Amino acid sequence: MVNRSSRPLRTELQDVVHNLKQLPAILAVAVNTLREQSADLDADVATLLQRAVSDPLHEQIRRLDALASRLPATPTRKR
């Protein structure tokens, strides 16, 4: 197991972004499955997932990615 407390903050943020980037694909499968089933509420649930989860998730990934890119690649030492 990796001791994450010793890893640079940039690396930690990049790992979080990597994990979050996998979630939209999972959401897309759920949304498409609900839409194809054509049950009474499935299309509404699919729209809710898209607007309330997927869209904000993409925005948060973008923001975390931007923050991570602003950090130095290696930790700076205080003197």
Chunk the chain into consecutive blocks of 10 residues (it has 79) and report each block's average pLDDT, rounded to whole numbers: 69 88 87 84 85 88 86 67
Q: Which residue has the tokens 């809710």?
A: 48
Residue 5: inside a domain: no
Within 10 Å of residue 34's Cβ, how many Cβ atoms?
20
Give the pLDDT confidence score for residue 5 in this predicted structure: 61
Give the pLDDT confidence score for residue 72 in this predicted structure: 80
Residue 53: inside a domain: yes
Query: 49-55 contacts: CB < 8 A, separation 24 or more?
Result: 53/27, 54/24, 54/27, 54/28
Give the pLDDT confidence score for residue 34 in this predicted structure: 85
pTM score, two decimals?
A: 0.60
Residue 26: inside a domain: yes
Q: For the chain, how many structural domains are there in total?
A: 1
Residue 42: inside a domain: yes
